[in-house]
Amino acid sequence: MGYTVRKTPGDTSWFVHDRFGMFIHWGSYAMAARHEWVKNRECTPEEHYALYAKYFDPDLYDAREWAKKAKAAGMKYAVMTSKHHEGFCMFDSAYTDYKCTNTPAGRDLIREYVDAFRAEGLKVGFYYSLIDWHHPSFPIDRLHPRRKDPDAFEQNQGRDIKVYAEYMRNQVRELLTNYGKIDILWFDFSYSQPSPDDLPWMKGKGKDDWESEELIKLARSLQPDIIIDNRAEIEQDLWTPEQYQPTEWIRDKNGERVVWEACQTLSGSWGYYRDESTWKSPEMLIRMLVNTVSLGGNLLMNVGPTARGYLDYRAEAALGVYADWMKYNSRSIYGCTMADPEFQAPADCRLTQSEDGKRLYVHLFAYPFAHLQLRGLAGKVEYAQFLHDASELLFTEGGVNHFSEGAARGDDLLVIELPPVKPPVLVPVIELFLK
């Protein structure tokens, strides 16, 4: 049992066991409540965007509440935005005045997050945006909110990305020094390839602009076990497919399987978006988690808190869906990975297998009528049950032969008898104890 996976510089042993985390996108953009890219999309004038910080007052923020909800949902770690592309810092940085402690919030919101989530036993990580649309040394480019200003070129004079790269090192040093053990550092993102949107004096930004090698070296010197993603444009511990469903175990350019984490949103936005309506169904939420683990990956599912500091009713409902399912079925997620290739999932099913190889989990995305036939499992299963209530499931080997005498029998088939009525579980799971 087991797949060869590319070694990682950081300690990913707990990560590939825990499988499920909470992404938290929270910043002054929650005031606009129109997506975390609102400043880019609307080219918001600086004086207007400053109002969001001026009036940012998350008076209902209680990180302990968030942590309890994440834990109940079965999430084992969290990654919260310490600074997003807008440049507003959710922590008390000595290198900028554009931070939450200088708003009506008046407190270090990241500090409360790490304390609360650790208290609930979750690992903690920081998202840190490489992009910064507020910093005076960050060169204006095709993504920058000032890109369409008539005097954008003039505004850009004197901006030195080296000054900004040092600013990032200083802030990463603060984040990895002042808040205890940090388990994940999630950089975002590089765009070094030229684009038709580049004006002649603009260019994208990548590892050389961020001085990524030095930034990552600093991070690892401060937190040797830390897990770092690949978006500073240097491959590290994590590959990070986003907003799509991989169909196979992510591999590097040499074809080697890697540690990977899909990051997804409950709706169409990372940051709080009041009027966004594409919220995923309960079934889709569970299927995304199962799909990801069935391919050897982790799921980082995002919440975007409101500017008052609480998770809105839609996010709370989604976390409740996870809590209800994980309460009875988390055994098919934690410590599990892609099933051995000898096991083929029947139609509308996904398989996961325990790391020790002894338990195979069959997730029923569509509830079959009467029987479930699993090819290649005859003679290999000692016992079968529904995972949610440990109720026995009887099985036979060879094909189903109700009045189909003479039909070719699938001697390698395991045939599990199922109750005619689907159990009260969004995605029922069959637990097979292998011989």
Interface residues with ligand GLC (CB under 6 A) are: 25, 36-37, 188-189, 242, 263, 270
Phi, psi (5° rounding) for residue 424? -75, 60
Name the burial class of residue 219, with classes exposed (0-12), middle (13-18) and buried (19+) by CB atoms within 10 angstroms of its CB: buried
CB of 368 to ligand GLC, least distance (A): 36
Smallest gap, in angstroms, from Cβ of residue 96 to ligand GLC? 19
Cβ 146 to ligand GLC shortest distance, Å? 18
- Tokens of residue 274, six digits: 């009041």
The Cα 210–Cα 284 span in angstroms is 37
Q: How far is the CB of 167 from ligand GLC (least distance, A)?
A: 19
Tally of CB atoms within 10 A around 64 = 14
CB of 127 to ligand GLC, least distance (A): 7
Nearer to ligand GLC, 135 or 363 (CB): 135
Q: Which is nearer to ligand GLC, 306 or 330 (CB)?
A: 306
Gyration radius from the chain CA atoms:
24
Torsions phi, psi of 164, nearest 5? -70, -40
Three-class secondary structure of residue 91 per DSSP? coil
Q: How far is the CB of 82 from ligand GLC (least distance, A)?
A: 12
Residue 57, CB-side half-sphere exposure with 13 Å CA sphere: 5
Of 140, 80, 75, nearest in space to 111 by CA:
80
Q: Name the residue nearer to ligand GLC (CB basis): 52 or 395.
A: 52
CA 130 to chain centre: 18
* C-beta of 36 vs 324, nearer to ligand GLC: 36
- State CA 100 to chain mean position distance: 24
Q: Which residue's CB is nearer to ligand GLC, number 318 or number 362? A: 318
Cβ neighbors of 226 (< 8 A, separation 6 or more) are 10, 176, 182, 183, 184, 185, 219, 220
To ligand GLC, the closest distance from the beta carbon of 85 in angstroms equals 6
Q: How far apart are CA 77 and CA 19, in angstroms?
A: 9
Torsion sign over Cα 409, 414, 419, 425? negative
Residue with Cβ nearer ligand GLC (221 or 243): 243
Nearer to ligand GLC, 189 or 322 (CB): 189
29/343 with CB nearer ligand GLC: 29
CB of 95 to ligand GLC, least distance (A): 21
